Structures are given as C-alpha cells and as structure tokens.
Structure 1
Amino acid sequence: MTQTPPEAEPVIRTIAMPADTNPSGDIFGGWLMAQMDLAAGNLAGRIARGRSATVAVDGMAFLKPVKVGDEVSLYAHLEGTGRTSMRIHVEAWRRPRYGTESEKVTDATFTFVALDEAGRSRALPGDEK
C-alpha cells in the first residue's frame, strides 16, 4: 500500500541519530514523541500568540520503527479550540536516508493550553470574553 504524506509543509524535519536509539538500534519512542510535541508546540505558540503548555496526548500507536539516518517529517494541524485550549493533530513520517518513499510511523492528538506570564491558563486571542 502506497502512502502519501500530507500536502502541507512539515512543521519540523529532522534526522534520527545514533544517540536517539534503544538497545535494539531503533529510535526511542520517547524521542519521536518529543519531536511530535515540539511540532505541536510550534503550532500552538503561533495560535496562542505566546506561551502554551502540553496538557494531554491522545491515541499514540507506533506503526513502524524509525531507524538511524531516517529523515523524520512532522506534520501538524489544528483540530479545534476551546476558550483556552487547542487540539493539534500530529503525524510523523519517515523516509529512509537514501530512499524516496515515505511511510507514516505514528500520529497523535496533543492538547495545549495557552498560558499567561504567571503560567496560568488564559483565553486564546479572539476569545477574551
């Protein structure tokens, strides 16, 4: 089955390195989750126009391993907002270092809350009611 990454530009594109591996030589799931959190946080900061924090991650399943040298592309899009919160869906795709075909390795929905200078939740811009 041929897979096609999302049409949008990735929020982050990085290379999986040897320091990111588990004893079996695959990339740690925690490293991949951290990259996804960074991608979601990048989008959340733009939407909140300021500081925000991850408060939940839903539905992450690892479909394929990521290997050292793979290019990992992370695509994020806004699924919805509340008064202070944002739900951001992130897909992670790998492309072998010398390959041309990409495959989806995982996805998850991250929930962020916009924060004020004191670290308390605040309304998103345009929702200051």
Structure 2
Amino acid sequence: MMRGIRGATTVKENNEVEIMDHTRQLVVDMIEKNNVSATDVTSVLVTVTADLNAGFPAKPIRELPGWQYVPVMCMQEIDVPHGLPRCIRVMMTVETDLDQKQINHIYQHEARTLRPDLLD
C-alpha cells in the first residue's frame, strides 16, 4: 500500500546550516519511526515558507546513505497570512504494510502546533 508520511519542522533563522540540520533530523526521525527504507520511497516533496531561501532542504535528504536515487523536490509553501514562519514541511510517499493510523507523522520545534492531534 502507498502511504504518505508527513513531517514538519521550523528554524530560528534563514540560515543554510540550520535549514540543512533541521531537515536532516526531521527526515531521519520520519525514517526511523516508520521503518522506511530508501527503496520503499516513491518520492519526497519538501516545501518551505517564503522566508526561507538560504539553502535547498532536499540536499541533506539526498545525502543520506542509499537515498541518492530517491526523487526529491523542493517548492515554496503557500504564503498564508499569519501562517507558521520559517517552516519546512515534508511529504514522503512510501510503500508500507502500515495502516494509516499506524503511520507516525513527525512534527518538531514550533511545527508541533500544526497538528497537535497527531503528537504522541
């Protein structure tokens, strides 16, 4: 079955190192908490809010061991007034035996406010 795994994080400032570090940690947590292998991934979509442009958050994903062939695409999130600033969102589409209710969606830092209903 194909499933989507959601994740989101925030950074304190528009800084390439922080964007890369937070994206890497978010995706590693998504992988570990859902037992994902790169060969099970169809694609990864990454969005950033308009206030983040210091680096491509796809880069640390592609640098993960075995992930160089996984299609990863970055784009800008819809600029909604009063939306969460400096936010990086990830949608990972994977093949898995998990039911939808068993998927562990990961929200870190200030992004935890986006989906409190999904927090453990």
- TM-score scaled by structure 1? 0.27
Larger radius of gyration: 1
Higher relative contact order (CA 8 A, sep 6+): 2
Q: When you count helix as a share of all residues, which structure comes out higher?
A: 2
Q: When you count strand as a share of all residues, which structure comes out higher?
A: 1
- TM-score scaled by structure 2? 0.28
